[in-house]
Amino acid sequence: MNPRVPGASSLAHPDRSDLARWQFVGLVGSVVVASAVAGYLSARGQLEPTGGAASGALVALLAMVGLTSLSIVSLSRTLLFVATAMMVRFGFIGSADALRSQVVLVWVVAAISVLVLSQYIARQKFSSLDDSLDDSKATSRRLSPLQTARTIAAISAIVIVLSLILGPILTPRLAQSTSTGNDAEFPTAENAGRSLQSSESIDMTSRPKLDDTVVLSVDSDRATFWRGETFDTWDGRIWSRSDPAITAVGSDGGVNISQEDIGAFGDDVLRQRVTVEAAFSNVVYAAPSPVSIDIERPVGQRSDGTLVSAPLGEGSSYTVISRRTPLSAQRLREAETGETPEEILAKYAQPAIMTQRVRELAPTIVEGASTRYDQILAIEQWMGERVEYSLDAPLAPKDADVVDHFLFEAEQGWCEQIASSLVVLARANAIPARLVTGYVPGERDPLTGRWIVRAKQAHAWAEVWFPELGWVPFDPTADVPLAGSESSQTPLLAWILDHLVLIVLVGVASGLIIGPVRIWWRKRKDHRSKAARNLEWAARIDQRLIAIGQRWAIPRAASQTATAHSQDLARAIGDPRLETVGLAVDDYLYTQVPMLVEPAHLEAILAEIELIEIPEASAVP
């Protein structure tokens, strides 16, 4: 039995016989991790990702440890290739789950570890040049675990950094604008939370059940709200749509833009590639105002400019081009001069159903605001001072007006009540407004730059119509303070947990790279200071010789070496040991001859000489 590798026997493949324990553990561990990642990403159906990871790890471990008659080098590379192929072909490599994207980084490091370690082990079958020497004469550096780890860290860092730079460059060139994805799973009671289903109405009297499930991922240059649907009819409890008609979008993907959607003629263009991460979606989410869409399903549009599609499953993607008019506060204030079309006023500016006190309240809020924009700001500010945001706010009682209950009774609510209140109050002041539902931008994936949108990031906001600008979004929820903490985790802690793998990888890589740099720097400093100290010693001795010479009226000539000067001193003073001092100084400074005399001994000689009293004739006057 080979004591170096556990379980090695005479039947083991030769490349296992001379394996160091750390090499064996490192290689097996790397293969196991790579296989676990492949299993994690490939798990489908009944098998959870963690189960997939465990299965992959177990298979790899059994193969690496059990199949001893096979070359460990070939086996590890084969397993890595199989794991990679599985991951690419069957794995759901998605940026939707931040952990998945970071798990890919772990796979990169594991794969490089397998390649480096197997390469080093493969080389061991060749005899070393050192083997021809006695151990005492062998001078080459043996590859240590730390050296190997540093090599792995350096290569992993290069690969990860360059691939992160290359990936976003390649994505717009190589990524397809659409994909079919999986078949849509029609919404049921169980998967309702994972479905993005179009609805004809929104009931403000029911509490939403939202979780962390990722529903969308968006590849976009900038963050924006991803609009889904709009509603224009309010009955005090439910928002609905006055015009439910849907017309098909042409095969060229061009959206039929209505005249009221002035933003669709704007100069600011945004291209978004949206991937459906939910099990079902028939709403096309995009930044307003979509002007064209590339999708592999039939798509229709409503009169409000929003889009709906045939059912899309998980992994489906589409690309939307949106346009908007660049906005600024000044431009919004100046837009007062234009006229609002009658159709807009009739549909969106008529006072909604509201209670008397809400109707009386509305003009008082905007008193003093001279422009539509300032009126909206005034409403937002008023709500920010009066109400609070809470997902646990009490629901409006049966038959109660939701806006009235929110503003006067509960004074707490979530985005739906807040946005509804803004729309109702705006309409009470004859300002065209409508309710919009969709999603906030979400979190940006550190690897791909995509926006990851979760179910809990569903949002409602308002759009107000401005002359010459069209529909302008307002999010009154941003001005409303939180009623209480919604998460037990601080934002920093949540960020750390989301990026834990990345932090660990960066930390390990930094340590492996920074450590040797620090050691090298310290050695360089020590070497320099040591050299400087040594030179200081020689210079100090030399200075003392010169001082003795001056004292004895035998100054050193400019062209004289320490040896020659010390010989003169030795003759004059009568102490031949001085020659030794001068010779030692010159030898140390100018030759490679090793020191035969201790500096302390030389200094002792000089100390004795310095104590000798100078005869009167020799003294320096």
Partner 1 sequence: MTVGSRGERPGSNRLTPAGGLIVAVVVGGLYLSSAASDRAMVLVVWAAALVALVVGVVWPLVAIRGVQIAASSPRDATVGDEVQIEVSATGAMAVYEIRVLDPPGTWVRVDGPTTGFVSHLADTRGVFEFIRFEVRVSAPVGLYEARRIISLALPVPVEVAPRPLSVEWMAAGAPVEMGELALGRGSNGGEVVRSVRPYVVGDPAHLVHWPSTARSTTLVVRELDPPAPIGQAIVLDLRNLGEDCESGAAYALGATYAVLAAGGEVVLCTAESAGPVSARVRSRLGANRRIARAVVGEPGVAPPNWPVVEIGR
User: 141 vs 209, which CB is nearer to partner 1?
Assistant: 141
Of 29 and 263, nearer to partner 1 (C-beta) is 29
d(C-alpha 323, C-alpha 325), whole Å: 7
Range in contact with partner 1 (rule: CB under 8 A) among 100-108, 399-407, 544-552, 603-611 = 100-108
Residues 138-177 that bind partner 1 (CB under 8 A): 138-143, 151, 155, 158-160, 162-164, 166-167, 170-171, 174-176
Distance of CA 107 to the CA centre of its chain: 16
Q: Can you state the angle between helices 500-551 and 599-611, rounded to 10 degrees?
A: 30
Q: Cα–Cα distance between 600 and 537 in angstroms, integer?
A: 10
CA 591 – CA 610 distance, rounded (Å): 28
Among 30, 35, 101, 325, contact with partner 1 (rule: CB under 8 A): 101
CB-wise, 109 or 433, nearer to partner 1? 109
Instruction: Report the nearest approach of partner 1 to the CB of residue 121 (Å).
Output: 10
Contact 218, 277 (CB under 8 A): no
Cβ-based nearer residue to partner 1, 170 or 192: 170
Q: In this complex, which beta carbon is closest to partner 1, that of residue 131 or of residue 399? A: 131
Of 143 and 546, CB closest to partner 1:
143
CA angle 103, 107, 111 (to 5 degrees): 175
Interacting positions 276-335 with partner 1 (CB under 8 A)? 314-315, 317
Cα 382 from Cα 398, distance rounded (Å): 27
| Residue with Cβ nearer partner 1 (101 or 429) | 101
Judged by CB under 8 A, the chain residues 447 through 476 that form the site for partner 1 are 447-448, 450
* Long-range pairs of 341-348 with CB within 8 A, sequence gap ≥ 24: 341/259, 341/260, 343/260, 344/260, 344/432, 344/465, 345/430, 345/432, 347/232, 347/242, 347/432, 348/232, 348/427, 348/432, 348/433, 348/434, 348/465
User: Could you write out the DSSP letters of every residue in 249-303?
Assistant: PPTT-B----TT-GGGG-SEEEEEEEEE-SSEEEEE-BSS-EEEEE-SS-EEEET
Site pattern 215..244 for partner 1 (x: CB under 8 A): --x-x-------------------------
Q: Which of 24, 40, 120, 234 binds partner 1 (CB under 8 A)?
A: 120
Q: Which is nearer to partner 1, 69 or 74 (CB)?
A: 74
Query: Of 52, 56, 33, 59, which Cα lies nearest the Cα of 92?
Result: 52
Q: Give whichever of 122 and 210 is closer to partner 1, judged by the CB atom.
A: 122
Q: Is 266 in the site for partner 1 (CB under 8 A)?
A: no
Segments in 342-486 forming alpha helices (H): 342-344, 356-365, 372-386, 402-404, 415-428
Could you tell me the smallest distance in angstroms from the CB atom of residue 88 to partner 1? 5
Name which of residues 14 to 73 contact partner 1 (CB under 8 A).
none
* CB of 114 or CB of 352, closer to partner 1: 114
CB-nearer residue toward partner 1: 118 or 289: 118
If one asks whether residue 519 binds partner 1 (CB under 8 A), the answer comes out as no
What residues between 174 and 193 interact with partner 1 by CB under 8 A? 174-176, 179-182
Would you tell me how many other CB atoms lie within 10 Å of the CB of residue 348? 26
Backbone φ and ψ for 608, nearest 5 degrees, come out as -65, -45
Which of 11, 129, 492, 596 is the binder for partner 1 (CB under 8 A)? 129
Interacting residue with partner 1 among 29, 52, 94, 476 (CB under 8 A): 94
CB of 344 to partner 1, least distance (A): 39
Q: How far apart are CA 327 and CA 288, in angstroms?
A: 13
Task: For residue 5, state whether it binds partner 1 (rule: CB under 8 A).
Answer: no
Q: From the CB of 226, what's the least distance to partner 1, in Å? A: 17
* Interface size with partner 1, residues (CB under 8 A): 73
For partner 1, give the closer residue by CB, 107 or 348: 107
Rounded to the nearest whole angstrom, what is the least distance from the CB of residue 76 to partner 1 in the complex? 10
Could you tell me the sign of the dihedral formed by the alpha carbons of 248, 253, 254, 260, in that order? positive
Bond from prior residue into 289 cis (ω within 30 degrees of 0)? yes
Only segment of 9-17, 443-451, 530-538, 575-583 that touches partner 1 (CB under 8 A): 443-451
> Of these, 95, 289, 429, 477, which contacts partner 1 (CB under 8 A)?
95
What is the nearest approach in angstroms of partner 1 to the Cβ of residue 111? Answer: 7
Q: Nearest approach, Cβ of 448 to partner 1 (angstroms)?
A: 5
Taking the C-alpha atoms of residue 310 and residue 300, their distance in angstroms, rounded to an integer, is 8
Is the distance from CB of 296 to CB of 179 less than 8 angstroms?
yes
Dihedral, CA of residue 333, residue 336, residue 342 and residue 348, to nearest 10: 30
Neighbours of 396 (CB within 10 A): 21
Q: Which residue has the tokens 């001056």?
A: 550
Query: In the complex, what is the shortest distance from the CB of residue 237 to partner 1, in angstroms, rounded to a whole number?
Result: 40
Give the distance between the most distant pair of CA atoms in the chain.
126
Nearest Cα neighbor of 121 from 2, 22, 7, 12 is 22
Distance of closest approach, residue 94 Cβ to partner 1, in angstroms: 4
Q: Which residue in 7, 69, 99, 123 binds partner 1 (CB under 8 A)?
A: 123
With CB under 8 A as the contact rule, the residue among 11, 45, 89, 356 that binds partner 1 is: 89
- Contact between 102 and partner 1 by CB under 8 A: the answer reads no
